Amino acid sequence: LRKLFLPALVVIAVAIAALIIWRFIPQKKAMPVPSDKPSLAIVYFENNSGDESLDHWRKALCELLIADLTQSKYIRVLSSDRLIDILSDLKQIEAKSFSARVLKEVAARGGSTHILRGGFTKAGEQFRIDAILQDAATMESIGSDRIQGKGEESFLSMVDELTKKVKAHFMLSAEEIAADIDEDIEKITTSSPEAFKYYIEGRKYHLTLDYMRSIELMEKAVAIDPGFAMAYRSLATSYG
């Protein structure tokens, strides 16, 4: 009997010691978000190209812009997971476009002061992204931008360019924009549009709880780009 109790007592003693140590270790406090820091909700873009095979870029552009602008120390950006939750609750996750009412509701539920929306078109090999930044309360336009590039591979550089333009609409000076945290999007996501396509498709299956299909697509993404950290994180959550 003593042999049975001793291991249990050791485990309990270790747990108690760990709890005591943890309580006395100084804990880092989360830095509060400044009250005057603008908050931004970025929604899925519209595919105005007439080519349904490009539909994945609706969500991909949104995800890329969220990842890029989240780096900024001047803007608080609604996370893609929270956006998905809100759009799902509103039954708008597969909507091709969003009404002003839906945009206002997304901003309200996400605690966002601004909305960024837009669309893309295609003419031959040329792509164009149109984006508009709006005040979430009034839906008035604060600024709009148009970015052009050649081929799908240009979407990544267009996102980097659009990110800088969006920051300027928030009245950040050229010096503040230059000094802000802003790694190129391909460095914090992937340099491969194909890998990102698999990532976006994998996310869709993950949301419908089809984890096997999601894992299959994420594995394709990391096979193309072994350094694609976002895809690895999604794989980890799918494996659970």
User: Block means of pLDDT (10 residues each) for the chain, length 240 residues?
Assistant: 43 38 37 67 98 96 98 96 95 96 98 98 98 97 98 96 96 92 95 95 89 95 95 90
Residue 233 lies inside a defined structural domain of this protein:
yes
Please tell me the predicted confidence (pLDDT) of residue 36.
75
Please tell me the predicted confidence (pLDDT) of residue 207.
83
Tokens read off for 130:
């149109």
Tokens read off for 36:
């005057």
The domain containing residue 240 runs over which residues?
Answer: 190-240
Residue 232 lies inside a defined structural domain of this protein:
yes
Are 88 and 174 in a shared domain? yes
The per-residue DSSP string of 145-190 comes to: EEEEEESGGGHHHHHHHHHHHHHHHTT--HHHHHHS----HHHHS-
Last residue of a domain, one of 182, 210, 231: 182
The model's pTM is 0.82
Please tell me the predicted confidence (pLDDT) of residue 37.
86
Sign of the Cα pseudo-torsion (226, 227, 233, 234, in order): negative
CA distance 93 to 30: 32
Q: Hey, what's the torsion of the CAs at 193, 232, 115, 147, to 10 degrees?
A: -20
CATH number at residue 110: 3.40.50.10070
Residue 195 lies inside a defined structural domain of this protein:
yes
Query: Token match 């089809």: residue?
Result: 210
